[in-house]
Amino acid sequence: MLNRDTLGALIFLAFFTAYAVFAWQIPLLPFEEMDAVNSASIPKVYAVLGLMFSLLALLAQAIKRQHSSGDGWPQINRRSIGQTAVLLLLMWVYTALLEPIGFLLATSVFLSAGFFIMGERRWRVLLLASVPVAVVFWLIVTKLLGIYLVPGELWS
């Protein structure tokens, strides 16, 4: 089974390989072609360095494995994974709704839904810890700091 260091090195190897492919495709402007350093030079150096370090990490893992075992994976329960995934999804939905429905409504829904996901079930707490926060923050930003916050494209 893959240990987490090997997996990490493989992820970076894949990333730096893709980066290298794109780095070698950076279109150069005509005046750049004769330059000692052009817009593609530094990305190419980074790509080579990245590939070198990720290959070295894989090699180090191969050598280590001959002498020791153990994968060192952190213990995480399924509930925590689910909560984290739903929180990420909630952030995505909040971002998508922020401009269409406006700051106040989106933030109130985001915070109360977040508290609910985190295990809070008392409706009074859900409302009191979300709506006032959104309103106070909105007042500070718009009235005190004079920053315009979109009221919601759907309503305006």
Partner 1 sequence: MLDGILLGLSTALQWQNLLYVIAGCFVGTFIGMLPGLGPITAIALMIPITYSIDPSSGMILMAGVYYGAIFGGSTSSILINAPGVAGTVASSFDGYPLAKQGMAGKALAIAAWASFTGGTIGALLLMLAAPTLAKVSLSFQSADYVALMCLGLTAIAAFSNKGTFLKAMMMTVFGLTLSTVGIDPSSGTERFTFGNTDLLDGISFLLIAMSTFALAEALSNVLKPEVKQSAGEQPMQIGSIRLSKAEVKEISPAIGRSSILGFIIGVLPGAGATIASFMAYAAERNLAPKALQEKFGKGSLRGLAAPESANNAACTGSFVPLLTLGIPGSGTTAIMLGALIAYGIQPGPMLMQDNPDVFWAVIISMYLGNIVLLILNLPLIPYLARVLIMPKAILTMMILFFSLIGVYLVSFNTFDLFMMIGFALVALVLRLLAFPMAPLLLGFILGDMIESNFRRAMMTSDGSLSIFWDKPLTLGIMLLAIVVLAMPLLSFLRLRKAAI
CA-based nearest residue to 50, from 82, 91, 18: 18
**Token representation of residue 47:** 């790509």
Asked if 101 interacts with partner 1 (CB under 8 A), we say no
d(CA 24, CA 44): 7
With CB under 8 A as the contact rule, the residue among 14, 42, 135, 139 that binds partner 1 is 42
CA-based nearest residue to 11, from 58, 43, 73: 58
* Residues whose CB is less than 8 angstroms from the CB of residue 137 and which lie 6 or more positions away in sequence, other chains included: 107
Half-sphere exposure of 134 (CA within 13 A, CB side): 20
The residue (of 92 and 123) whose beta carbon lies closer to partner 1 is 92
Number of residues that bind partner 1 (CB under 8 A): 66
d(CA 126, CA 115): 6
The distance of closest approach from Cβ of residue 94 to partner 1 in the complex, given in angstroms and rounded to an integer, is: 7
With CB under 8 A as the contact rule, the residue among 76, 124, 143, 156 that binds partner 1 is 76
| Residues 18-37: x where in contact with partner 1 by CB under 8 A, - otherwise, as a string | -x--x---xxxx-xx--xxx
d(CA 46, CA 23): 9
- Binding residues vs partner 1 (CB under 8 A): 4-5, 7-9, 11-12, 15-16, 19, 22, 26-29, 31-32, 35-40, 42-43, 46-47, 49-50, 53-54, 56-57, 60, 63, 67, 72, 74, 76, 80-81, 83-84, 87-88, 91-92, 94-96, 98-99, 107, 110-111, 114-115, 118-120, 129, 133, 137, 141, 145, 147
